[in-house]
A and B are shown apart, each in its own frame.
Chain A
Amino acid sequence: MSRTMAEKVWESHVVHRAEGEPDLLYIDMHLIHEVTSPQAFEGLRQAGRPVRRPDLTLATEDHNVPTLDIDRPIADPTSRKQVDTLRANCEEFGIRLFPMGNSEQGIVHVVGPQRGLTQPGMTIVCGDSHTSTHGAFGALAFGIGTSEVEHVLATQTLPLKPFKTMAITVTGALPEGVSSKDLILAVIAKIGTGGGQGYVLEYRGEAVRRLSMEARMTICNMSIEAGARAGMIAPDQTTFDYLKGREHVPSGADWDAAVEYWSSLATDDDAVFDAEVVIDGSALTPFVTWGTNPGQGAPLSASVPDPASFADEGARQAAERALKYMDLEAGTRLRDIRVDTVFLGSCTNGRIEDLRAAADVIRGRHIAPNLRMLVVPGSMRVKAQAEREGLDAVFTAFGAEWRSSGCSMCLGMNPDQLAPGERCASTSNRNFEGRQGKGGRTHLVSPVVAAATAVRGTLSTPTDLEPAVVG
């Protein structure tokens, strides 16, 4: 029988199946962090249950950690307590942890792939909705709640209802200057924030095949913003080249066996998806959001839409509310929107290629007056790599702040927050009201748009810039 990739991975992990019950699926890797795990560990303690597979569990500190002064104790006592609780729980239950200050610490979805812990055909979960990131390798990876975290800790399994499958085929090649962030923002605007609900999305087509692993991770990362718990991309040579030589990846004869297995995972040619969406990748342009959910986006060349232009009553009301919150007027050119802050980082766009792309735009230039730019590498390994390449010097010479790794201003659980009314061009994943700080206003953008915006002070692409004076 022909099957999609998601179905193949699902079927190979069924531990128990019975009529009228969800399938019980085995979980190959469980990633945890300090925010969504304390109540799960407490539940285990109360029930007297051990962690079934500490060896299939990895912890990192990311959501709360400050990105400055990381060699000192966390100043906020509640953040510190949450981090200390994770440390105590990992110690008690024998779980490996990369704490703040460790050279392997970072955002959980950056750490897994960079170590080679994320591999094709695996089931991967984490108490974080952006676990969909790992699907870029052909893994079935999705976010879970704290009760499910406890369930996985206790049993290494999860009871799950089957997903439907949706193919998102991106034809052609992305034009120069258009990134995978623009692509996924355009996908979300097309299918809506609820369009992927109940589905696993599989991104296919020439445009996707041409992308690097890091660019693919950006796409899968934001599947959740389209309502899909998981997004996947079939493993290919690009995947294998990325994986080869990483710590947790098989080597020697095992490597060959692994590649053979990974190569068998792609969706069969005659498999049928429950839904299909086709997008012309060659027609895409830089894309940004104007509203307060990730589906409220438009090409950067466009203007703020008029709520009256939405046929659906609910969409009209949502647009009206969004423009009020964002303090925007219909008809304003997106290019004329002035920002106060630029945030480059997060599990969406905090990888080395993202930093390189942004550095290439700003090299030899200076930051716009009265604007602040935070550059927060996705992991300490990314930070070290960037420093070896001299990117930190490029950012600081430009006038940006070079920080240590963490979730940072993506959600503002640490001190990196927007002030009320402050407007930000952000490479993160959510433009919800108050997401980056109470009253803050977020425009989601790609790394190169973030960089060009920091130069001009208004939402911009690199093509808007005068040639840089280098030397």
Chain B
Amino acid sequence: MKAFTTHTGVGIPLRRSNVDTDQIIPAVYLKRISRTGFEDGLFAAWRSDPTFVLNNEAYKAGSVLVAGPDFGTGSSREHAVWALMDYGIRVVISPRFADIFRGNSGKGGLLAAQVTHEDDELLLKWLENHPGDAVTVDLKERRITCGPLSIPFEIDDYTRWRLLEGLDDIALTLRQVDAIADFERQRSPLKPVALPTGA
């Protein structure tokens, strides 16, 4: 995973709550077996609407998405993170993220920055009134700056550390391989296995 420290890019105001992962990428776009190439599916239904924010030239090349609350609800599809990143989005800002989406973001190198409802509204308003303005997101300082706004954001310490270092979760866990083996030795033999029974 690529390390994330600071990112500056055009802010995209997406004034919607409950942006579920079916909107971020509809199911028909999930049939690829690679981790890339999902940009065409991003907001596929909404992009056919000429008034959709990503169809506005000022926002089109944006990389910092500012949305309403409950972003990433619904399906666990990590393709939602891949589609956002394939399009060029590096940061999503929202007052509340769905748990699975937040986790997937941290794994894929997309920064999910949580702000208060009030600050989210300030950011949305500013970007709506100043199309094409840049947003800077500083992960070290946990701070978002945009025009006159300077806003703190929340992200848990562990995810922040992993993003800053660009660390691979599996390699980290495999440092505990002895503890895993110990756990397996004392695990109840009554727990089921998926293999055919009576074999």
B176 at interface by CB-CB < 8 Å: yes
- Of B27, B45, B184, which is within 8 A of A413 by CB? B27
CB distance from A243 to the nearest CB of B (A): 10
A464 at interface by CB-CB < 8 Å: no
Given A16-B179, A145-B81, A318:B194 Cβ within 8 A: no
- Of B28, B73, B196, which is within 8 A of A227 by CB? B73
Q: Which residues, 300 to 320 on A, are CB-close (under 8 Å) to B?
A: 314-315, 317-318
What class of interface size applies to chain B in its complex with A?
A: 35 or more
Q: A76 to B30: give the CA distance in the assembly, Å.
A: 13
Given A155-B174, A193-B73, A122:B191 Cβ within 8 A: yes
B192 at interface by CB-CB < 8 Å: yes
Query: B100 contacts which chain A residues (CB < 8 A)?
Result: 129, 143-145, 224, 229
- Of B27, B108, B157, B183, which is within 8 A of A26 by CB? B183
B18 engages A293 (CB within 8 Å): yes
A151 at interface by CB-CB < 8 Å: yes
Query: B78 contacts which chain A residues (CB < 8 A)?
Result: 36, 39, 127, 145-147
Query: A438 contacts which chain B residues (CB < 8 A)?
Result: 26, 28, 45
B195 engages A36 (CB within 8 Å): no
Q: Which residues, 222 to 256 on A, are CB-close (under 8 Å) to B?
A: 224-225, 227-229, 247-250, 254
Q: Which residues, 7 to 63 on A, are CB-close (under 8 Å) to B?
A: 15-16, 20-22, 24, 26, 28-29, 35-36, 38-39, 42, 47, 49, 52, 55-58, 63
- Of A52, A146, A430, which is within 8 A of B22 by CB? A430
CB distance from B73 to the nearest CB of A (A): 6
A194 engages B33 (CB within 8 Å): no
Query: B104 contacts which chain A residues (CB < 8 A)?
Result: 145-148
Most buried by A among B70, B184, B196: B70
Query: B99 contacts which chain A residues (CB < 8 A)?
Result: 197-198, 227-229
A95 nearest in chain B by CB position: B194
Given A20-B157, A145-B100, A247-B197, A36:B22 Cβ within 8 A: no
Q: Which residues, 106 to 164 on B, are CB-close (under 8 Å) to A?
A: 107-108, 156-158
A116 engages B192 (CB within 8 Å): yes
A79 at interface by CB-CB < 8 Å: yes
A117 engages B192 (CB within 8 Å): yes
- Of A85, A127, A194, which is within 8 A of B96 by CB? A194
Most buried by A among B96, B98, B190, B194: B194
Query: B191 contacts which chain A residues (CB < 8 A)?
Result: 28, 119, 122
B31 engages A147 (CB within 8 Å): no
- Of A24, A78, A249, which is within 8 A of B192 by CB? A249
Q: Which residues, 1 to 51 on B, are CB-close (under 8 Å) to A?
A: 15-18, 20, 22-23, 26-28, 30-35, 45
A35 nearest in chain B by CB position: B30
CB distance from B50 to the nearest CB of A (A): 16
Q: Which residues, 415 to 461 on A, are CB-close (under 8 Å) to B?
A: 430, 432-435, 438-439
The B contact surface, by secondary structure, is loop
Size of interface on A: residues with Cβ below 8 Å to B = 85
A84 nearest in chain B by CB position: B33
B75 at interface by CB-CB < 8 Å: yes
Query: A154 contacts which chain B residues (CB < 8 A)?
Result: 170, 173-174
B166 at interface by CB-CB < 8 Å: no
A342 at interface by CB-CB < 8 Å: no
A201 at interface by CB-CB < 8 Å: no
A150 at interface by CB-CB < 8 Å: yes
B165 at interface by CB-CB < 8 Å: no
- Of A39, A49, A430, which is within 8 A of B33 by CB? A39
B35 nearest in chain A by CB position: A39
B117 nearest in chain A by CB position: A314
Query: A79 contacts which chain B residues (CB < 8 A)?
Result: 31
A333 at interface by CB-CB < 8 Å: no
CB distance from A25 to the nearest CB of B (A): 10
Can you pick out 10 interface pairs between chain A and chain B where the beta carbons lie within 8 Å of each other?
A24-B180, A35-B31, A47-B170, A81-B31, A144-B100, A154-B173, A161-B156, A194-B73, A194-B98, A411-B75
15 more CB-based (< 8 A) A-B contacts, given A29-B194, A147-B104: A15-B180, A49-B170, A128-B76, A145-B77, A145-B81, A159-B169, A197-B70, A197-B97, A197-B98, A314-B17, A317-B17, A413-B28, A430-B22, A435-B22, A435-B27
Interface residues of A (CB under 8 A from B): 15-16, 20-22, 24, 26, 28-29, 35-36, 38-39, 42, 47, 49, 52, 55-58, 63-64, 76, 78-79, 81-82, 85, 95-96, 116-117, 119, 122, 127-129, 143-148, 150-151, 154-157, 159, 161, 193-194, 197-198, 224-225, 227-229, 247-250, 254, 257-258, 261, 293, 314-315, 317-318, 321, 411-413, 430, 432-435, 438-439
Q: 8 nearest interchain CB pairs?
A: A147-B107, A145-B104, A145-B78, A38-B33, A58-B194, A248-B192, A143-B76, A78-B31
Interface residues of B (CB under 8 A from A): 15-18, 20, 22-23, 26-28, 30-35, 45, 68-70, 73-79, 81, 96-100, 103-104, 107-108, 156-158, 169-170, 172-174, 176-177, 179-180, 183-184, 187-188, 190-197
